[in-house]
Chains A and B, each alone.
Chain A
Amino acid sequence: MKKSLIQLLLSASTCLAMMATSPVLAGDYEGVTIDAKLIGGQQYEGLYALISNWESATGAKVNIVSKKNHFELDREFKSDIAAGTTDWCVGSNHSSFAPQYPSLYTDMSPYNNADQLAGFIPAMIKSSTIGGRLVMLPRAQFDVSVLYYQVSLYEDASNQSAYKAKFGVDLAPPITLNEFKQQAIFFADPPNFYGTQYAGKDEGAAGRFYEMVVANGGAMFNADFTPAFNSDAGRESLQWFVDLYEAGAVPPGTTSYLWDELGAGFASGTIGINLDWPGWSGYFNDPEASKASGNVGITVQPMGSAGIHTGWSGFHGFSVTEDCANKEAAASLVTFLTSEASQIAESAGGSLPTRSSVWDVVVAAADGDEYRTMALNAFKEGAKHAFAVPQTEYWIEATNLIFPELQAAILGDKTVDEALQDASDAVDEMMQENGVY
């Protein structure tokens, strides 16, 4: 009830603020229709309700021609590029997907001066700038994985004494990846309880591997995009996955799990510690949906052997197509949807902002809610260590070559060395074939 009231007040203040601060004069785009292809889903819809405010302020109309999840939008965008039907104007974008569309979106720098961009977290603007062109503006949908854990495991006296006796240190949420692995194996009691779990396929698996490689002091690619993950850091990272699997500390099906299965897994109460996205925090603590509710702790993600925290991150945003008939109007809509006021309204729903000033508002709104405050503190700390995917349009294609090899090592079909060598060779061949070097 209290949360709803806060959200209502935030939304109302947002509308007023937008009317007061909108740089666009009423009627500026009278008669203009902006066709938009937007990401759909419950957590994204709240922002779209505000579009009518922009329509009233500018006289333009927004026609949402497509609303799908990002994987479906990705296929649609690729089909549009192939068919040459890219004259719609505004599209949802994501930092992991953006490099794939080098010709689809226009540079938004001419429509946003330095002051307007200064409000965003600088790393986000850097990740949105591909080949020197600002191809998207971030909305309040920022993702970086933090560490979720079952509090009772750490409060249990027998766990504490057994852990101390075995490892000589006190039992506390892990600070390093090695501790993470050690504790996951310690907590595991298969098939009833598993220490942890991980995304085992698609970009999820490759992304987790990527952040481990960075945390262990390595890199996925060299500056010229030759593969660099077949290194000591790569071997250390892949061995981490293999060790957990061999020890039975993860569900045997983890190599076919992606975000939904992982979310459902932690919510089932059968997983001890879990690296996962901010969007799950509410669900995990919802008594109606999660057996772990009331027992969830959240803290910053652990760091690797190089002293660097994991931090593979992504964020959603909006872009304007190169073929849009009225780019200025489209850019105005994007500026509106990513403005401070819009971000305050959107993050009232629980998502994380991409503007520094909005963080303070969100933290203040959570005052008195112990769980939300803990979550936000963890996300804020986690966000400091965030880094985006390598900026190559072949990232998704590379991940499709890497993840089957990671799986092969995890399942014992190949050794760690063989898997990394094969993955590296395949990525190298793909990059050469695409003329990257």
Chain B
Amino acid sequence: MIYKKLPQWFLLILPAIIILAAVILIPLLFSLYSSFTSYRLTRPDTLFNWIGTFNYEKAVKSGVFWAAFGRTILFLTIALNLEMFLGLGLALLVSRVTRGQRMLRTIMMFPMMFSPVLVGFQFKFIFNDNVGLVNNALQSLGLSNSAIPWLVDEKLAMFSIIFAEVWMSTSVFAILILAGLFSIPQDPQEAAKVDGCTPWQSFRHITLPFIMPFIFIAMAIRSLDVARAYDIVQVMTNGGPARRTEILWTLIGRTGYVDAKMGYANAMGYVSIFLAIFFTIYFFKKLNAARVELGMAR
């Protein structure tokens, strides 16, 4: 029997290999293959129509694709940095609370519990120009006498989406940074106090280096999340109007499922993966550097 000749360690991990191959490797290879075909969902025979690198060339030459690519990087950069600063602030505040901290931590996690689709609908209503909460409040308070087109104006629409994204996910940063704050040894802090350091100096030179690895872990996780952002944008603006909020995955989703051009959508998806790979490598390098600084790695 062949299986008797196989090493025991391999036999033991074989089920895991088979499952991983079935749910990850095969779909990945299939989508990679289909990106070299003219595959349309409504015409199954096109799956065998090999067109070489046509889809990739089309994506690379497409202004719409690169505009969406650029917008995704902009979206990612702003959302990630805002979430980091706000999360850091929240964590620092909560870490100072001595009574009811557990309750605060639970409340802080509420936005994470909402489905992104729900958050999208919630903010779509809040920012609606006609019946939305924000415009009604501004008009009632006499701060504005016009209907501000939150989800239409080029800058305001991106702001509204980023606002929703930040509202939902800042607590991811806050929770991870809070965990970092709890793990800081007290000795250096006390030594700094004795040496007469100001609170800013203590934070800058002691607290921050200790929590940097946690910040970079949060950055790496969230960068992957935001780079794949779809639900909130799809619900709030569907990439519009006039492609003003089009990001990679609204474009790819529409191309694949509405236009049924799965081959082209997969090619755009593979080009986009480089974005996720770049950010992951970048943040892991930063994480490693932060750990080296703390003497936790070489």
Check if B130 is an interface residue, CB within 8 A of chain A: yes
Q: Which chain A residues lie closer than 8 Å to B149 at the CB level?
A: 252-253
User: Contact at B152–A253, with CB atoms within 8 Å?
Assistant: yes
Separation of A81 and B47 alpha carbons in the complex (Å): 12
Q: Which chain B residues lie closer than 8 Å to A101 at the CB level?
A: 42
User: Contact at B139–A411, with CB atoms within 8 Å?
Assistant: no
A-B pair number, CB within 8 angstroms: 97
User: Contact at B152–A255, with CB atoms within 8 Å?
Assistant: yes
Check if B151 is an interface residue, CB within 8 A of chain A: yes
Q: Which residue of A lies closest to B245 (CB)?
A: A256
Q: Evaluate whether A75 and B242 lie within 8 angstroms (CB atoms) in the complex, with A81-B42, A253-B130 already known.
A: no
User: Contact at B42–A191, with CB atoms within 8 Å?
Assistant: no
Scoring A191, A264, A397 by chain B CB atoms within 10 A of each residue's CB, the highest score goes to A191
Q: Which chain A residues lie closer than 8 Å to B146 at the CB level?
A: 190-191
Separation of A103 and B147 alpha carbons in the complex (Å): 48
Check if B32 is an interface residue, CB within 8 A of chain A: no
Which A residues between 388 and 437 are near B, CB-CB below 8 angstroms?
A: 393, 396-397, 400, 404-405, 407-408, 410-411, 413
User: Contact at B147–A413, with CB atoms within 8 Å?
Assistant: no
Check if A152 is an interface residue, CB within 8 A of chain B: no
User: Contact at A191–B254, with CB atoms within 8 Å?
Assistant: no
Check if B225 is an interface residue, CB within 8 A of chain A: no
Separation of A270 and B240 alpha carbons in the complex (Å): 24
Check if A265 is an interface residue, CB within 8 A of chain B: yes
Separation of A396 and B147 alpha carbons in the complex (Å): 32
Separation of A396 and B257 alpha carbons in the complex (Å): 11
Q: Name the one of A79, A252, A404 contacting B41, with C-beta atoms under 8 angstroms.
A: A79
Q: Which chain A residues lie closer than 8 Å to B240 at the CB level?
A: 201, 255-256, 404, 407
User: Contact at A251–B241, with CB atoms within 8 Å?
Assistant: no
Looking at the assembled complex, report how far the CB atom of B61 sits from the nearest CB atom of chain A, in whole angstroms: 11
Q: Name the one of A103, A270, A396, A410 contacting B259, with C-beta atoms under 8 angstroms.
A: A396
Q: Which residue of A lies closest to B238 (CB)?
A: A201
User: Contact at A78–B257, with CB atoms within 8 Å?
Assistant: yes
Q: Which chain A residues lie closer than 8 Å to B6 at the CB level?
A: none
Which B residues between 228 and 253 are near A, CB-CB below 8 angstroms?
A: 237-238, 240-244
Separation of A101 and B254 alpha carbons in the complex (Å): 18
User: Contact at A81–B152, with CB atoms within 8 Å?
Assistant: no
Q: Evaluate whether A253 and B128 lie within 8 angstroms (CB atoms) in the complex, with A78-B260, A100-B42 already known.
A: yes
Q: Which residue of B lies closest to A406 (CB)?
A: B242
User: Contact at B260–A100, with CB atoms within 8 Å?
Assistant: yes
Check if A294 is an interface residue, CB within 8 A of chain B: no
What's the interface size class on A, roughly?
35 or more
Q: Which chain A residues lie closer than 8 Å to B41 at the CB level?
A: 78-79, 81-82
Separation of A384 and B237 alpha carbons in the complex (Å): 36
Check if B131 is an interface residue, CB within 8 A of chain A: yes
User: Contact at B42–A407, with CB atoms within 8 Å?
Assistant: no
Separation of A218 and B42 alpha carbons in the complex (Å): 30
Check if A168 is an interface residue, CB within 8 A of chain B: no
User: Contact at A103–B241, with CB atoms within 8 Å?
Assistant: no
Q: Evaluate whether A256 and B241 lie within 8 angstroms (CB atoms) in the complex, with A81-B41, A400-B254 already known.
A: yes
Q: How many residues of B contact A (CB 8 A)?
A: 32
User: Contact at A407–B129, with CB atoms within 8 Å?
Assistant: no
Check if B145 is an interface residue, CB within 8 A of chain A: yes
User: Contact at B130–A268, with CB atoms within 8 Å?
Assistant: yes
User: Contact at B44–A251, with CB atoms within 8 Å?
Assistant: no
Q: Which chain B residues lie closer than 8 Å to A410 at the CB level?
A: 241-242
Looking at the assembled complex, report how far the CB atom of B269 sits from the nearest CB atom of chain A, in whole angstroms: 16
User: Contact at B145–A191, with CB atoms within 8 Å?
Assistant: yes
Check if B143 is an interface residue, CB within 8 A of chain A: no
Separation of A102 and B45 alpha carbons in the complex (Å): 13
Which A residues between 233 and 254 are near B, CB-CB below 8 angstroms?
A: 251-253
Check if A110 is an interface residue, CB within 8 A of chain B: no
Separation of A413 and B240 alpha carbons in the complex (Å): 13
User: Contact at A256–B131, with CB atoms within 8 Å?
Assistant: no
Which B residues between 27 and 46 are near A, CB-CB below 8 angstroms?
A: 41-44
User: Contact at A411–B259, with CB atoms within 8 Å?
Assistant: no
Looking at the assembled complex, report how far the CB atom of A82 sits from the nearest CB atom of chain B, in whole angstroms: 5
The digit string for A102-146, where 1 denotes a CB below 8 A from any CB of B, is 111000000000000000000000000000000000000000000
Separation of A191 and B129 alpha carbons in the complex (Å): 9
Check if B258 is an interface residue, CB within 8 A of chain A: yes
Check if A227 is an interface residue, CB within 8 A of chain B: no
Looking at the assembled complex, report how far the CB atom of A111 sits from the nearest CB atom of chain B, in whole angstroms: 24
Q: Which chain A residues lie closer than 8 Å to B130 at the CB level?
A: 191, 194, 251, 253, 265, 268, 270
User: Contact at B42–A411, with CB atoms within 8 Å?
Assistant: no
Q: Evaluate whether A404 and B243 lie within 8 angstroms (CB atoms) in the complex, with A253-B151, A411-B152 already known.
A: yes
Looking at the assembled complex, report how far the CB atom of B266 sits from the nearest CB atom of chain A, in whole angstroms: 13
Q: Name the one of A102, A194, A251 contacting B42, with C-beta atoms under 8 angstroms.
A: A102
Which A residues between 41 and 100 are near B, CB-CB below 8 angstroms?
A: 75, 78-79, 81-82, 84, 100
Check if B91 is an interface residue, CB within 8 A of chain A: no
User: Contact at A407–B257, with CB atoms within 8 Å?
Assistant: no
Q: Which residue of B lies closest to A398 (CB)?
A: B259
Q: Name the one of A84, A190, A255, A411 contacting B147, with C-beta atoms under 8 angstroms.
A: A190
Check if B262 is an interface residue, CB within 8 A of chain A: yes
Q: Which chain B residues lie closer than 8 Å to A278 at the CB level?
A: none
Q: Which residue of B lies closest to A191 (CB)?
A: B147
Check if A195 is an interface residue, CB within 8 A of chain B: no
Separation of A75 and B258 alpha carbons in the complex (Å): 7
Check if A263 is an interface residue, CB within 8 A of chain B: no
Q: Name the one of A84, A102, A190, A200 contacting B241, with C-beta atoms under 8 angstroms.
A: A200
Can you name 20 extra interface pairs (CB under 8 A) apart from A102-B43, A103-B42, A252-B152? A75-B257, A78-B42, A81-B42, A81-B44, A82-B42, A82-B262, A191-B139, A194-B130, A252-B147, A253-B152, A255-B242, A256-B237, A393-B42, A396-B258, A397-B259, A404-B242, A410-B242, A411-B152, A411-B244, A413-B242
What are 14 A-B contacts defined by CB distance under 8 Å? Answer: A81-B42, A81-B43, A82-B41, A100-B42, A102-B43, A201-B238, A201-B240, A253-B128, A253-B152, A256-B238, A265-B130, A268-B130, A393-B42, A397-B261
Q: Which 4 residue pairs are nearest across A and B when measured between Cβ atoms?
A: A252-B149, A253-B129, A191-B147, A255-B241
